[in-house]
Amino acid sequence: MKKYHTNGKLLITGEYLVLKGATAFAIPLNKGQTLMVETSNEAGLQWRAETPNGLWFKAKFDDELKLLESTDHKKAETLQLMLQKSVEQNPSIQSKLNNSSVTTMLEFDPSWGWGSSSTLLHLLEQWLRINPYQLMDETIGGSGYDIACAVANSPIFYRRTAGTDPQITPAHFNPPFLQEMGIVYLNKKQSSSSQVKSFLASTSSQKDLVTEISELSEKFSTTKEINSFMSLMHQHEQIIAMATGLTPIQELLFPGFNGAVKSLGAWGGDFALFLSEENFNSNKKWFESKGYPVVIPLEEVIINR
């Protein structure tokens, strides 16, 4: 049996504008996804995807990657496209897919948006020796910061412009108030792929906003004073609101929070980052009282801080 593992991710800065060349600040997580491959007596490819809650979906393909059966047709079709495009990159892997049984195990709830797709792209790179950024471009789309996080062992700065290789630089992140920082689940998943397509349909280059966000990304990594960091969070939200026409999450859902709340990734779902001068447990109780029960210390999920 062959076994591969990769990290999940959180995008701290640069959502949306990273698609137009802004430098983003992102953090790999200590939760990710594992892929295990075994030889099968059955022809074709058997695929089983699991989560902490049990079976996510399973699918069966013939030796030419025709989808024969699945428990979730949409997920199976996305997987099929990834495999087909992998074979187009490297035709020699077709035989590697045949007579194989694959099991993937997510270490987090897939509705959390921690990288169920990006971790799979990097797992396919490890197993099939393909280019995950090209595969992303040809399938689900995106900036690729999440693929960079999949293999990183520390926070990163990430930048990629169309048609170029990504620029990935290690970043430092260990502010003295880290123990007060948390993330709160917004009780729904946001489809990042659909938001990517919508945002890229915008014809504006938004150069000034791209520059501002790139500068803020570095400040997020280095700022050591709690009120300054909260000010950066508010500034970032206002810039992205200008870029997208969307309403900042604190204004929308948490106007009474005595601190700062910032969206992570595509606005409207998944997780938000929060920080205040109150201790983490007090803030946790506040969010729970508002109907948001999944509240996690940031330092518990980031890798090798």
Contact (Cβ atoms closer than 8 angstroms) between residue 53 and residue 43: no
Picking from 181-190, 207-216, 220-229, which range would have the lowest pLDDT averaged per residue? 181-190
* pLDDT score at 207: 87
Residues with Cβ within 8 Å of residue 64, at least 6 apart in sequence: none
| pLDDT tens, position by position, 170-203 | 999 999 999 999 999 999 866 656 666 666 666 5
* pLDDT score at 206: 83
Query: How many Å apart are CA 89 and CA 85, to the nearest integer?
Result: 6
* pLDDT score at 221: 96
> Residue 1: how many CB atoms within 10 A of its CB?
8
Residue 130 or residue 268, greater confidence: 130
**Residue 33 has which token pair?**
């996804």
* pLDDT score at 203: 53
Mean pLDDT of 119-132: 97
Please, what are the domains in the chain? 2-170 (3.30.230.10), 178-301 (3.30.70.890)
| pLDDT tens, position by position, 4-28 | 999 999 999 999 999 999 999 999 9
Mean pLDDT of 238-251: 94
* pLDDT score at 305: 47
| pLDDT tens, position by position, 252-262 | 999 999 999 99
Contact (Cβ atoms closer than 8 angstroms) between residue 270 and residue 190: yes
Average pLDDT, the chain: 94
| pLDDT tens, position by position, 131-160 | 999 999 999 999 999 999 999 999 999 999
| pLDDT tens, position by position, 35-90 | 999 999 999 999 999 999 999 999 999 999 999 999 999 999 999 999 999 999 99
pTM, to two decimals: 0.92
The confidence band for 161, taking pLDDT boundaries of 50, 70 and 90, is confident
CA separation (Å) from 294 to 107, 114, 182, 201, 291? 16, 14, 10, 33, 9
Query: How many Å apart are CA 105 and CA 55, to the nearest integer?
Result: 9
pLDDT exceeding 70 applies to what percent of the chain?
Answer: 94
Rounded to the nearest 10 degrees, the angle between the axes of helix 73-89 and helix 116-128 is: 40
> Cα(first)–Cα(last) distance of the chain, in Å?
32
> Residue 189: how many CB atoms within 10 A of its CB?
17
